Chains A and B, each alone.
Chain A
């Protein structure tokens, strides 16, 4: 038996957008006090990402982060985070299936996103290592700029809507 990714049916659409679905990335939601997080090397500057070879740590709020790792590593990440947070007031929740990830590549990706995403994606305020919780049309999304690509984290039930809206917008 094989797991099925939320956008399995729309791979052709993604191809037309120069995009792909990053399936089953490990995603762990961490809630903790900012001082605890700082001690662990989590980003404390709003909307920034700290990247390690095996994981990205995305700032979601003053007391919330998303740790993103390779597919299949969620269980190990949860265990490691629980151990390092120890007795500190915290919450670690595996949310790997709670969002899927659309990876947009190509130089026009920010222009494409600006069709329905209200934040400033100009290089002056948006560059590698940044992330932001925002919307695309009527869907909540989490954006991450990463190594020349833009990752769009979206809840699976909204993923098809986001892809269809991207396609409608990319129609010149």
Chain B
């Protein structure tokens, strides 16, 4: 027991010592930000990393993260190759590029955004709107709720801030690209994102987390505040290196009649844990959570989602799909909380897993907590291999055995990707799926949109 406590202290010390270095280098922050960071690191010092004895962490052992002596990541001038690969180019209204957690102005594209829209990094935002940030940063993502949020909060410095004022609509996506480069020593970055949409505002934000090779740790926190009637289409695409650790928390608050759509995809990372919590804090708020996990090898991905119905008359929809190959393991814990008084809640949750090998494992746990009596909540969960009846049907029409299996896999995942409105994201996912599953060229669905269009003309 004593040995264990010692280990835990050593684990924490890595980050506490990072903080003392960081604290000096971030001396020019306003006092409120200093105390916010302090509250984060204090909380982390108090609780440390979670263990699998805790229910929320039962299926994900973060000891490999805790044990690793991560240094704070630095910008090393690298990453342009990854930028070339993942940049949205002209398809983004604005593209903020962070390398190893540091905003890199010369790689970013700060487009001319309309009427008071802000998309920039935290230091710039502090200059122009410090008071607004003081009320918003750290308000939704609670340091008490999750040790990783606490840790991230301790290291807030270079985050992304997006603010869309009242009734302003932005058509093109704003792209937040977080690049991690290979370094000699394992490094950690704590990306922080704050998205604020005022009443009636609407926009599209894509977060991409990408890496080349090597072991590193990304610990991201995103806070999203949607005031009444605001609408956000939000994509989070995780393509970290195959050895990386990725932990993220996304906390959303929806006002009345607000609409939030999330498309969260996990392709990379050796160990990923995503917490996605949406609170419907106004009537007729509408939340949609779509998730795709497409992993193999010894990758592990744990998605914890929460649909918190705090007010009446809110619909929510959730669909998570896992494709697990090799010895990959997936976890889905989907909680629907209907608070007392949240009558006429209409919530539908579905989790499906496709197991491509006998060694792949899926744990799917829906959790309904309902304190109102006039609600409609449904959930369904299924997991299994490719259906051989379906494969035979395809083969009987001339499609080869491997191609049939690939097609079934592709179709399973495409059910999620075709819902994604941002073409760059959709294409990137579909290309990845085609590549991973070696689909023969004549079976690739890369002209699906034009094909569908032609068929519609019938």
Partners in one complex: no
Query: Interface on A for B, CB 8 Å cutoff?
Result: none
Query: Interface on B for A, CB 8 Å cutoff?
Result: none
